[in-house]
Amino acid sequence: MSHGSLRRLCQVPAIAYGGPDVPPNQPSPESAKIAESLVLIQFFADLAPESDLLPQDALDKAKVRFFLDTVSNKIQPSLSRWALGTATYEGFFEALDAIQDQLPPVEEGKYIFGDEFTLADIAVAPFLGRSVLIQLKHGFGKFDKEEAKRGWELFQGPKYERLRRYIDDITARPSWQSTFDEVRGMIQVKPVCFSRRFLFLHRPTSSSLTPHALHEWGL
């Protein structure tokens, strides 16, 4: 592969892994090119299995992977279609229901699989940040703004109390606090009107993929 292979993947995020030490914007033909966020987070977890982001127990591991499949095939498409104005907000809230239905009672844990922060949380957190905290809350998207206003009022009601608590727990993490800027997110989203996709990359080296670093990055 040439150094332009990352662009030809036409997917974000994408990384080049391995090969000689070269400038980040000039990936070596000897490096492997990998794309798609859900593939990448599993790849990072495999590089550092001691992080326990993917449980060691086979059944628990299968549960996490099943949820990742739900994110890929149901949650993310439903959230995106509403933001692009190609679906009603009923589908948007069906996606939020799918997330909330996975959450344990508060007394049994903060995250999707209890008190352990796993790939399941990593997979869904960016969509909650963009779709709920920016698009729904501030009405940024190709949808009816009155519909978004009604949707935000619904989200603030008792039905979504557990999901709001989950978002609070996610956004309280140091990694979230250091990387998510709601104001900057609005500045980026509003002018583009979803005609392009924006990418914010942290470029770790293979030696920096320690369990501590993965958790600090929200991975």
pLDDT digits (tens, 9 = 90+) for 119-133: 999 999 999 998 999
Report yes or no: 105 and 161 within 8 Å, Cβ to Cβ: no
Cα–Cα distance measured from residue 47 to residue 119, given in angstroms and rounded to the nearest whole number: 13
Beta bridge partners of 116: 113
For 17-75, write each residue's pLDDT tens digit: 888 988 877 888 888 888 888 999 999 999 998 888 998 899 999 999 999 999 999 99
pTM of the model: 0.76
CB count within 10 Å of CB 81 equals: 16
For 172-206, write each residue's pLDDT tens digit: 999 898 888 765 554 454 444 333 333 333 334 44
Report yes or no: 86 and 144 within 8 Å, Cβ to Cβ: no
55-196 placed in CATH 3.40.50.1820: no
Please state the domain extents for the chain: 55-196
- 155-164's contacts with Cβ under 8 Å and 24+ in sequence apart are 155/96, 160/96, 160/100, 162/100, 162/103, 162/105, 162/106, 163/96, 163/99, 163/100, 163/103
